């Protein structure tokens, strides 16, 4: 996730703490859903599921 921010010239130091917390919550929710499913890419949830 951080490499995408850097690619768009948005460095982690430019983010507010609350944004980082929300990003971590989102990433954790995605991971929690994906580990309950079989497969690689197919296990990734759609945005509506998160």
Per-residue pLDDT tens over the stretch 11-40: 778 888 888 888 889 999 999 999 999 988
In terms of phi and psi (left: phi > 0; alpha: psi -120 to 50; beta: otherwise), the region of 44 is: beta
d(CA 6, CA 47): 23
Between 28 and 2, where is the model more confident? 28
Give the residue-averaged pLDDT of 1-5: 72
Give the pLDDT of residue 28. Answer: 94
Question: What ranges do the domains of the chain cover?
Answer: 2-49
5: confidence class by pLDDT, cuts 50, 70, 90: confident
């Amino acid at each position: 996730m951080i490499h995408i921010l850097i690619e768009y010239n948005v460095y982690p130091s430019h983010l507010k703490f609350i944004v980082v917390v929300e990003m971590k919550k989102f990433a954790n929710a995605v991971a929690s859903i994906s580990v309950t499913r079989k497969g690689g890419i197919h296990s990734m949830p759609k945005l509506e599921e998160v």
